């Protein structure tokens, strides 16, 4: 079993839909990161969480330390949100989920 599990692996949505991507981890961590990777490889850090909830524009990230679970929500999704979203946990080193490929159709 992977130490960082993401679901779903692939997600197709219509523009405007509310999207949720989940991340569960089994190791002790000090922080959890959500990353966005567009075609071509560039990775952008969206959030760093150690507790609670954070919001940037239409993106919301939450973490439950006791349950070892985090969610990334996108409200009013848009085609430009199409990308791979990766959950990464920081313990002694960084461990990554396999990613969720999101496609938002107009």
Residues facing 12 on adjacent strands: 103
d(CA 40, CA 11): 19
**Which residues touch 106 (CB under 8 Å, ≥6 apart)?**
15, 79
The partner residues of 45 in beta bridges, in order of sequence, read 35
> Which C-beta is closer to another protein: that of 11 or that of 35?
35
Based on CB atoms, which residue is closest to another protein, 58 or 101?
101
Q: How many residues bind another protein (CB under 8 A)?
A: 22
Choose, by CB under 8 A, the member of 10, 18, 48, 105 that binds another protein. 48
Binding site for another protein (CB under 8 A): 30-31, 33, 35, 41-45, 48, 50, 86, 88, 90, 92-99
């Amino acid at each position: 079993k992977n130490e960082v599990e993401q679901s779903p692996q692939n997600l197709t949505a219509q523009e405007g839909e509310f999207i949720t991507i989940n991340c569960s981890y089994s190791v002790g961590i000090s922080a959890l990161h959500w990353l966005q990777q567009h075609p071509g490889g560039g990775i952008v850090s969206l959030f760093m969480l150690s507790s609670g909830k954070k919001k940037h524009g239409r993106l919301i990230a939450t973490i439950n330390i006791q349950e070892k679970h985090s969610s990334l929500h996108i409200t009013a999704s848009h085609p430009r949100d199409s990308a791979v979203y990766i959950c990464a946990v920081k313990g002694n080193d960084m461990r990554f989920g396999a990613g969720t490929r999101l496609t938002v159709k107009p």
